[in-house]
Amino acid sequence: MNAMDEHLATGYGQTNTAFDSRVATEALQQIVMLAKLKHDGVASSHEPLIMNLGRLDVLVILHDDKDNHAGKLILQALDWLTEFEINQVFKLWGDSISGLDLENTVSFGPRICDFGDWLAYWGRYKLAIGVLRPLFKQQRLLLSCDDMGLARTGHSLGLLHLSMSEYESAKKLLETALIVRENNLDANHPEIANSLNSLASLHLEQNNYDDAEPLFMRALSIYEKSLGKNHIKTATVIDNLAILIRCKGDDKTSELMHRKALEMTENNLGDKHPDVARCLNNLASCLMKQGDLLGAESLFKRALEIIEKTFGAVHHLTAMCMQNYAELLESTGNYSAAISIYQRSLNILEVIFDNHHANVISSLDHLASVYEKIELVLESTELRTRQIKALEQTKGINDEDTIMVLQNLAVMLRNHGNLEKAEPLQRESVLQFIQAFGEDNIKTAIAYSGLGKLLTLKGEFKEAKINYLKAIAIRQRDLGEDAEPTKLVRQRLEEILI
């Protein structure tokens, strides 16, 4: 055993020496240095990193050791690891959890769950999955289905899946956790409200407003009764309700509720807390929707400053605040600044999530749209192609969102004269519309009309006529002979018949 191994052993309880968090933290500092050297190619062996960062029991103890700032060191060390090394660490974590007997699963499980929640709070969602998923599996194996510890881990795992836009998995876990809590707790217990708020947030993100609203209202009622009308959790539900009300079109009421939630949050946590930044961001979005761009801009800047100071540059909330601020800049015509911030947001999201995550797809869409406004076709085409691949992976090749992005890319290329690249995309969109909706669907008429125009530009009038006639027949049937979309395609057909 060399000197470094001996030093690590003392802190990590690998010898007869009692565990010492200070010494363990000093060991973590060396691990961070080793991880960086390995990342930079100076050190070659990764075994010491995997061995020490695989000690889940130690990480669980150290992560909230504020006196020695061990949590920051844990994140730094884990962030330097390669994907291979992370997977090896996950295996060791999983082995540790699967080795727990019933007594230790009950006593140590909540602390492991705390560690997973902590990783998620700091935006390390994949790492959090590496903790919470094996813990949930072990708890399901050893505990009863109505166990509160199992419900707690299931709720945390459900929120993690929600953060990663894995809605079906999130819904199942959150609904199960709610049932267990309702079976075990008083009707006005705050943990029931936690589950209601989380499940409502899932419905809100999926635009299921009618399902979300009663859940938010129940959560609000419970929090007010059990924790008080000025509690931070009460403020959080009010802020979430304000988003829902804004989505349903009542911007003024939404603004009042956002301002109330912001005031309550500042009173509870001070004006530099990340929850304050969340409230600022939501209020800014509300103001932007109402056209108060100056008011929105100052709030976005405040929110972004707090989030970056708290979490750093690479965090989900940092990226989302940037994206909202970039939307505002785009709306004012400041395209250069918007592109810069959209790109930074996209870069962050691609580090945190898989390339097919919903937020990555949204970010690609925003950035491509700005490039299209200033007619940078090559840049937009590259982004749209990536967006299509991501949508095909998540929603499927015949999903309407996938097909519409493909159709719009074909139209953009056609309108800029790149007919050779546009044609195969346009033909593909026709086939996909037919497979998804049928040959005579009103949505398929869009693709027929687009292909007809492209073929007209190429001088292939015979095939263009066939596609125009298909589009006209569908639109006459569904929209009427005098509807503008019908008259537009008929006009295009008449132009090639002259």
Q: pLDDT tens digits for 257-284? A: 999 999 999 999 999 999 999 999 999 9
pLDDT of residue 19: 54
pLDDT higher than 50, residue 3: no
pLDDT of residue 30: 74
pLDDT of residue 37: 67
pLDDT tens digits for range 115-145? 999 999 999 999 999 999 999 999 999 999 9
pLDDT of residue 5: 38
pLDDT of residue 114: 96
pLDDT of residue 81: 83
Averaged pLDDT for residues 225-231: 97
Report the alpha-carbon distance of residue 317 to residue 348 in Å, rounded. Answer: 10
Q: Are 197 and 222 in contact (CB under 8 A)?
A: no
Query: In Å, what is the CA distance from 487 to each residue of 38, 79, 93, 407, 490?
Result: 66, 59, 65, 21, 5
pLDDT higher than 70, residue 21: no
Query: In Å, what is the CA distance from 113 to each residue of 130, 152, 194?
Result: 11, 8, 16
Averaged pLDDT for residues 245-262: 97
pLDDT higher than 70, residue 18: no
Report the alpha-carbon distance of residue 155 to residue 133 in Å, rounded. Answer: 12
pLDDT tens digits for range 453-490? 999 999 999 999 999 999 999 999 999 999 999 999 99
pLDDT of residue 305: 95
pLDDT tens digits for range 383-403? 999 999 999 999 999 999 999
pLDDT of residue 48: 75
Averaged pLDDT for residues 22-34: 72
pLDDT higher than 80, residue 150: yes
pLDDT of residue 83: 87
pLDDT higher than 80, residue 154: yes
Surface-to-core class of residue 293, CB atoms within 10 Å of its CB (0-12 exposed, 13-18 middle, 19+ buried): middle
132-137: long-range contacts at Cβ-Cβ below 8 A with a sequence spacing of 24 or more?
Answer: 132/156, 132/157, 132/160, 133/157, 134/93, 134/94, 134/97, 134/98, 135/97, 135/109, 137/97, 137/98
pLDDT higher than 90, residue 25: no
Averaged pLDDT for residues 108-119: 96
Apex CA 418: angle with CA 412 and CA 421, to 5°? Answer: 90
pLDDT of residue 371: 96
pLDDT of residue 44: 57
pLDDT of residue 41: 66
Q: What is the 3-state secondary structure (H, E, C) of the chain?
A: CCHHHHHHHHHHCCCCCCCCHHHHHHHHHHHHHHHHHHHCCCCCCCHHHHHHHCCHHHHHHHCCCCCCCHHHHHHHHHHCCCHHHHHHHHHHHHHHHHCCCHHHHHHHHHHHHHHHHHHHHCCCHHHHHHHHHHHHHHHHHHCCCCCHHHHHHHHHHHHHHHHCCCHHHHHHHHHHHHHHHHHHCCCCCHHHHHHHHHHHHHHHHCCCHHHHHHHHHHHHHHHHHHCCCCCHHHHHHHHHHHHHHHHCCCHHHHHHHHHHHHHHHHHHHCCCCHHHHHHHHHHHHHHHHCCCHHHHHHHHHHHHHHHHHHHCCCCHHHHHHHHHHHHHHHHCCCHHHHHHHHHHHHHHHHHHCCCCCHHHHHHHHHHHHHHHHCCCHHHHHHHHHHHHHHHHHHCCCCCHHHHHHHHHHHHHHHHCCCHHHHHHHHHHHHHHHHHHHCCCCHHHHHHHHHHHHHHHHCCCHHHHHHHHHHHHHHHHHHHCCCCHHHHHHHHHHHHHHC
pLDDT of residue 76: 85
CA nearest to 408, candidates 450, 378, 437: 450
pLDDT tens digits for range 40-72? 666 555 677 788 888 898 889 888 877 767 888
Q: Are 105 and 143 in contact (CB under 8 A)?
A: yes
pLDDT tens digits for range 193-222? 999 999 999 999 999 999 999 999 999 999
Q: What domains sit in the chain, N to C, each tagged with a CATH number?
A: 185-311 (1.25.40.10), 312-370 (1.25.40), 395-498 (1.25.40.10)
pLDDT higher than 90, residue 436: yes
pLDDT of residue 407: 94
Averaged pLDDT for residues 219-239: 97
pLDDT of residue 43: 56
Q: What is the mean pLDDT of the chain?
A: 91
